[in-house]
Amino acid sequence: MSAPTLLEALPPRRRLADAACTAAGWAMGLAGILLPVAIVAYLLAKGLEHVSWNFLFDAPRGNPVGSGGGIGPAILGSLALTGLGLLFAWPLGVASALFLAEYAPRKRWPAWFRFGFECLAAVPSILYGLFGYAFLAVFLNFKISLLSGGLTLGFVMLPVILIGAQEAFEAAGGAYHEAGLGLGISKWYLVRRVLLPGAMPGILAATVLAAGHAVGSAAPVLFTASVVYSRGGMDLSRPVMTLPTHLYYLVSEAVSFPHAYGTALVLVAGLLCTNGAAMALRLWMARKKA
Amino acid sequence: MAEPAATDPRAFRWPKIGWAWSDPAVRWSGWVTLLFSCSVLVFILFFVAREAWPVLSSVRLAGFLYGDPWQPLAEPPLLGIRHAWLSTLLVAGVALLVAVPFGLGIAVFSSEIAPPALRAVLQPCLELLAGIPSVVYGFFGSVTLVKAFEWWWGMPAGECILAAGLILSIMVLPFVASTSYEALRAVPRELREAALSLGITRAHMIRRIALPRALPGIFAGVALGFARAMGETLAVLLLAGNAVALPGGLLDRGQPLTALLATELGEAGLGSEKYHALFAAGLVLMLVTLLINMGIWSLKTRWMRHVRSHAA
């Protein structure tokens, strides 16, 4: 083979390979954009006609139950469960994260704790359900109730909030942080006046993401909190309906597909709104930092 | 917005003894909450293991893991989870077989090929995909894919390993894609530019420079996808068919571990042999997930050190 001259054209094989790579990349990228859009559009097209005020607020009716009426108690139940979980997980997660980011001796400890929390975040949600059932519902005798389910969801959300908050605390502060320390003000004052305000948008974004994930997951509440039918009264010691388990019941027992479309749409639309809010928060944060 | 603390007149006060209590108080309450949060992991492991102990301590562990079928109503009850972990492996395998090439393609497109505007659209789209709940995916699969299978192949019921695996592949796609994307972004810019300046094509650069350099990160993404696929419950519960027979092929019905737990726990009497067997199955699932996570962690720390040493 002769030595290549300086401006030899690329062999056609190489140019073809490059074009093929570019084309395949574009195809997959566009498919990656179209896939979620198509799923949401499908749910919207099939479900929108079944969603009405009555569907949103009425209790399920009909025989079998769920084939008529609405999903009001399920929406309420999901909100109550997640709210209760947040009440438990948020202070715990933020305080732990603050300690890890600010107070812990800066050696190997934070890394090990971080590893533990990443493990916790990776545990499949059905195992939280198993744990909640064995520990909260049976061992502590909370029964299948709003309390058991809320605490279980709190356990699910805890590592997500904690990791997000830790990252937010570490990103906050910067020069103000060092200036404050240099002036000799107490650490708690620094936390209150510099770190917490700076980290709050990041913490809120992580919280919203965790809550959105918790609202949609049925596995942790399947055995700790949910029933097929309730009239919507909220009581800590009584079970509730939830949106994801209601959808599961409607589909697995083939009760009513129109209602299943409606329920799925309500669930996805709610999550889209919350995730959109989290994304906006993050964008706002990035812009403020820039 | 809060004023910077340095300009706040109160910040200049010398710390007094009376003020000094708050810092230790916060420090100690921080310790307590941190220990509590961290003990949750230990606690979950301990409690699941405690409930699983009767099965683990009996001599029938081999039967539980491999030999026996799942026949809780037989006399004596036979409680083996071979069909379940086999289904889990099959479903997760199908999911990865689809999601890894697709996710890698998206990652390469997003980091090497896409114009910035399109990249800015692609990321939220993947997040949207990750935000849709498992049960909605299960429902979506059962009204589209399952119906299509019934129509194409004339199956009496379209729920099968393949349907569950395909829907799972959509669910793990964002995890595989975003982890691989981050790994590709971490490849130093100079390497790319040096390669391209030598006159090789972009495809060649991706194949010989970017992908090999990003390989540990991509591998972490694949492992993460596998762990996610193993842990998903509701989608496989609705789509895999929930049959306790040993799956022989992709069009057979199966019952992954998570689906086994979700189906049977509600009907298992407290303290019965079945109850303990279910917790043992959960323990298996948890230990495998934790092992994978440790692998990802060590990969990630090594890969980050790699990146950092290059930057230094």
Say which residues have a Cβ less than 8 Å from residue B266's Cβ, sequence separation at least 6.
A222, A223
How do residues A57-95 score in pLDDT, each as one tens digit? 888 888 788 788 888 899 999 999 999 999 999 999 999
Choice among A113-127, B124-138, B261-275, B284-298 with the minimum mean pLDDT: B261-275
> Is position B100 within any domain?
yes
Q: With an 8 Å Cβ cutoff, is A16 touching chain B?
A: no
pLDDT of residue B200: 87
Q: With an 8 Å Cβ cutoff, is B235 touching chain A?
A: no
- Alpha-carbon distances, residue A274 vs A64, B33, B155, B311 (angstroms): 32, 28, 40, 37
Q: With an 8 Å Cβ cutoff, is B49 touching chain A?
A: no
**Confidence tier at B302 by pLDDT (50, 70, 90):** confident
Check pLDDT > 80 for residue B281.
Answer: yes
- Alpha-carbon distances, residue B312 vs A188, B308, B309 (angstroms): 34, 6, 5
Domains in chain A, start-ordered, CATH in brackets?
59-289 (1.10.3720.10)
CATH of the domain at B206: 1.10.3720.10
Shortest alpha-carbon distance between residue B74 and chain A (Å): 25
A-chain CB neighbours of B146 within 8 Å are none
Q: Are B36 and A109 in contact (CB under 8 A)?
A: no
- Put simply, the answer to whether B2 touches A115 (Cβ < 8 Å) is no
Q: Cis before residue B76, ω within 30 degrees of 0?
A: yes
Of B139, B202, B289, the CB nearest to A251: B139
Nearest CA in chain A to B278: A130
| Greater pLDDT, A62 or B235 | B235
**Confidence tier at B15 by pLDDT (50, 70, 90):** low
Q: Are B166 and B94 in contact (CB under 8 A)?
A: yes
> Is position B110 within any domain?
yes
In angstroms, how far is CA B71 from the centroid of its own chain?
30
Q: With an 8 Å Cβ cutoff, is B113 touching chain A?
A: yes
Question: CB count, 10 Å around CB of B116?
Answer: 6
How do residues A265-279 score in pLDDT, each as one tens digit? 999 999 999 888 888
User: CA–CA separation, A163 vs A93, rounded Å?
Assistant: 8
Q: Are A161 and A94 in contact (CB under 8 A)?
A: yes
> Is position B97 within any domain?
yes
**Confidence tier at A163 by pLDDT (50, 70, 90):** very high
Considering chain B, what is the average pLDDT of its residues? 86
The number of folded domains in chain B is 1
Shortest alpha-carbon distance between residue B63 and chain A (Å): 23
A residues 47-76 near B, CB within 8 Å? Answer: none
Range of the domain at B182: 85-256
Of A185, A264, A271, the CB nearest to B139: A264
- Put simply, the answer to whether B102 touches A28 (Cβ < 8 Å) is yes
Of A15, A120, A125, the CB nearest to B201: A15
ipTM score of the complex? 0.90
Shortest alpha-carbon distance between residue A225 and chain B (Å): 12
pLDDT of residue B18: 43
A-chain CB neighbours of B142 within 8 Å are 251
> Is position B137 within any domain?
yes
